[in-house]
């Protein structure tokens, strides 16, 4: 007897369905890790709450909010964006750890949709951000934050900053895949993120900065996203900052998703 039939790739519909199922399975696995490791829970919940409280009660008194706004209302949109920006580092750290432990190698040897490794990681981190933003909104409410524009613009603001955080996650996918270990991923992350997050409109009005810094601070992606979220949650012109923020988000995704996918195929 001779067997000459050739292997057939499953039809596209099956492949897409499997890719979604694989990504869901890995999202579940990544979220389970957050639940299982107390230090990760602390990192992603206690730390953002501490930031809210410290800026509200320690620095807040010394910062002059724009006229007609309370500092806590000015602060909360900024601190939401800050937390998803720092959260993106976790994406890189998680991937670097999986690589170091040989898990990525195992995934790459399995007959699974390879796209699901990165999709599952970034989706899990998006889900974590949903939880963190919800938690911070509750804490913010307790310390006096009141969004004046109503639930729909508020949710639109949340969606905008979550998408921005998702795009940043892909930047750190690239960092994580290139890093030798979690510490390296972290070391690369903070020098790039700190200037973006703190030299921005997140915690202080840009007008309070020296002139040479204002040009950068007013136009960089964190600031335009904070401005857009602020406009959606507190009122003011929304179209320009929302468009600018969306352009950054889409631009980052357009550049970094293909780069990360290429890096993954060559990883290890």
Using CB under 8 A, which of 1, 13, 152, 239 touches another protein? Answer: 1
Residue 107, interface with another protein (CB under 8 A)?
yes
Q: Which of 34, 86 has the CB closer to another protein? A: 34
Residue 7, interface with another protein (CB under 8 A)?
yes
Residue 264, interface with another protein (CB under 8 A)?
no
CB 230 within 8 A of CB 74: yes
Q: Encoding tokens for residue 121?
A: 């990681």
The residue to which tokens 């897409």 are assigned: 16
Measure the CA–CA gap between 210 and 29, rounded to whole angstroms.
46
The residue to which tokens 């002059």 are assigned: 64
CB of 152 to another protein, least distance (A): 37
CB 160 within 8 A of CB 242: yes
CB of 7 to another protein, least distance (A): 5
Using CB under 8 A, which of 72, 84, 103, 227 touches another protein? Answer: 103
User: What phi and psi values does residue 137 have, to the nearest 5 degrees?
Assistant: -65, -40
User: What phi and psi values does residue 18 have, to the nearest 5 degrees?
Assistant: -65, -40
CB 253 within 8 A of CB 167: yes
Nearest to 247 by CA among 229, 230, 225, 227: 225
List for the chain the helix, strand, coil content (%; round to 5).
80, 0, 20
Part in contact with another protein (CB under 8 A); list of ranges 46-54, 70-78, 101-109, 206-214: 101-109
Q: Which of 105, 207 has the CB closer to another protein? A: 105
Part in contact with another protein (CB under 8 A); list of ranges 55-63, 73-81, 105-113, 247-255: 105-113
CB of 9 to another protein, least distance (A): 7
- 15-54 mask for another protein (x: CB under 8 A)? ---x--xx--xx--x--xx--xx-----------------
Q: Encoding tokens for residue 192?
A: 């790039």
CB of 261 to another protein, least distance (A): 15
The residue to which tokens 């040009």 are assigned: 215
CB of 110 to another protein, least distance (A): 6
Chain residues binding another protein by CB under 8 A are 1-9, 18, 21-22, 25-26, 29, 32-33, 36-37, 101-103, 105-112, 116, 268
């Amino acid at each position: 007897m001779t067997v000459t039939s050739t292997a057939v790739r499953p039809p596209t519909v099956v492949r897409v369905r499997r890719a979604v199922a694989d990504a869901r399975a890995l999202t579940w696995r990544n979220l389970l890790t957050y639940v299982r490791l107390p230090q990760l829970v602390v990192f992603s919940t206690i730390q953002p709450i501490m930031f809210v409280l410290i800026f509200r009660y320690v620095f807040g008194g010394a910062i002059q909010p724009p006229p007609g706004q309370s500092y806590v209302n000015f602060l909360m949109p900024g601190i939401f964006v800050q937390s998803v920006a720092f959260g993106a580092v976790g994406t890189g750290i998680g991937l670097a750890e999986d690589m170091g432990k040989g898990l990525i190698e195992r995934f790459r040897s399995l007959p699974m949709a390879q796209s699901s490794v990165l999709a599952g990681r970034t989706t899990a981190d998006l889900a974590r951000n949903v939880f963190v933003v919800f938690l911070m909104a509750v804490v913010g409410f307790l310390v006096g934050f009141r969004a004046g524009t109503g639930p729909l613009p508020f949710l639109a603001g949340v969606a905008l900053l979550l998408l921005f955080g998702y795009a940043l996650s892909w930047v750190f996918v690239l960092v994580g895949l290139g890093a030798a270990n979690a510490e390296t991923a972290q070391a690369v992350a903070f020098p790039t993120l700190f200037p973006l997050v703190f030299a921005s409109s997140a915690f202080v009005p840009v007008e309070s900065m020296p002139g040479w810094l204002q040009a950068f601070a007013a136009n960089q992606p964190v600031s335009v996203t904070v401005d857009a979220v602020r406009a959606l949650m507190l009122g003011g012109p929304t179209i320009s900052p929302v468009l600018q923020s969306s352009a950054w988000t889409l631009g980052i995704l357009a550049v970094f998703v293909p780069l990360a996918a290429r890096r993954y195929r060559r990883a290890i």
